[in-house]
């Protein structure tokens, strides 16, 4: 994939949900101060505490956002996939990054300059609304996350994660392809990898699911939902 000129950057931007509806000129302006960067698997994009330069938009690959704990473990806050952005919130405040970003795969990311994003928002109410909606979505996701880690047992966490994934698939065949390693998933659900493994084994034994590596087949949707709550 080659992104060597401004034109293609603007084109890519125009395909992002956040930017549809912007005029060609507006896109060009944003594209002008947008730079592309590439990171290899496991490479750190930024550390908690650094100063943000703008909004990141994942084009290819996957970025993991996590809060490192002093004891070495970490809490995975978000897995960012292509088409999604991160670092917006910090752009509207003047604060350092509250978490670290690390690539889980070789990735290509666009970095949209802070100031030109703010300028674009000033001139385009529709963009402002989209940004507001986007932040609101993140806010709701975070609240589900808190709900998850605050008042659910390990089995409930796993079951409700799987149930959520089922809802996201369009088909009626409940096969879930985990988007990340089980380690990472465990961290996202706030579980030790061993616990996740045990819960999956247990759900398999009760005939609710069937696990084949990173593919999980849901056999009994009703009992899955029941386990989730």
Q: Which two tokens stand for residue 102?
A: 């690390």
State the binding string over 3-42 for DNA (x if CB under 7 A, else -). ----------------------------------------
Our finding on whether 89 is near DNA (CB under 7 A) is no
Q: Shortest gap between Cβ of 217 and a second copy (angstroms)? A: 27
Backbone torsions φ then ψ of 167, nearest 5 degrees: -60, -30
Report, in Å, the least distance between residue 223 CB and a second copy: 16
Binding mask 142-161 for a second copy (x = CB under 8 A): xxxxxx-xxx----------
What tokens were used for 78?
């978000």
**DSSP collapsed to 3 states, 50-93:** CCCCEEEEEEECCEEEEEECCCCCEEEEEEECCCCEECHHHHCC
Phi, psi dihedral angles at 133 (to 5 degrees): -65, -40
Q: Taking the chain, what is the end-to-end CA distance rounded to the nearest angstrom?
A: 44
| Contacted entry of a second copy, DNA, none for residue 70, CB cut-off 5 to 8 Å set by kind | a second copy
By C-beta, is 106 or 119 nearer to DNA?
Answer: 106
Is 228 near DNA (CB under 7 A)? no
Distance, in Å, from the CA atom of 128 to the CA atom of 93, rounded to the nearest integer, reads 15
Q: For residue 44, state whether it binds DNA (rule: CB under 7 A).
A: no
Alpha carbons 167 and 27: distance in angstroms, whole number: 34
Query: Cα–Cα distance between 154 and 149 in angstroms, integer?
Result: 9
Size of interface with DNA, in residues (CB under 7 A)? 21
By the criterion CB under 8 A, which residues form the site for a second copy? 67, 69-71, 73-75, 77, 88-93, 95, 98-99, 118, 121-123, 125, 128-129, 131-133, 135-140, 142-147, 149-151, 190, 229
* Residues engaged in binding DNA (CB under 7 A): 73, 153-155, 181-183, 190-198, 200-201, 211, 213-214
């Amino acid at each position: 994939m080659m992104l060597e000129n401004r034109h293609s950057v603007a084109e890519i931007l125009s395909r992002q949900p956040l930017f549809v509806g912007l005029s060609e000129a507006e896109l060009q302006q944003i594209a002008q101060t947008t730079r592309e960067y590439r990171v290899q698997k496991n490479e750190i994009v930024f550390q908690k505490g650094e100063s943000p330069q703008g909004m990141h938009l994942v084009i290819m690959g996957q970025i993991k956002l996590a809060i490192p704990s002093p004891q070495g473990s970490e809490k995975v806050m978000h897995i960012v996939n292509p088409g999604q952005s991160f670092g917006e919130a910090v752009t509207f405040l003047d604060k350092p990054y509250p978490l670290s970003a690390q690539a889980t795969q070789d990735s290509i990311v666009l970095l949209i300059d802070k100031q030109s994003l703010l300028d674009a928002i000033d001139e385009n109410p529709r963009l402002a609304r989209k940004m507001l909606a986007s932040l609101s979505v993140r806010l709701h996701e975070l609240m589900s996350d808190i709900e998850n880690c605050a008042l659910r047992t390990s089995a409930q966490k796993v079951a409700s994660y799987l149930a959520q994934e089922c809802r996201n698939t369009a088909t009626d065949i409940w096969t879930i392809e985990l988007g990340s390693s089980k380690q990472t998933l465990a961290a996202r659900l706030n579980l030790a990898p061993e616990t996740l493994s045990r819960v999956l084994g247990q759900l398999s034994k009760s005939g609710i699911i069937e696990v084949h590596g990173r593919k999980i087949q849901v056999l009994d949707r009703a009992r899955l939902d029941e386990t989730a709550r």
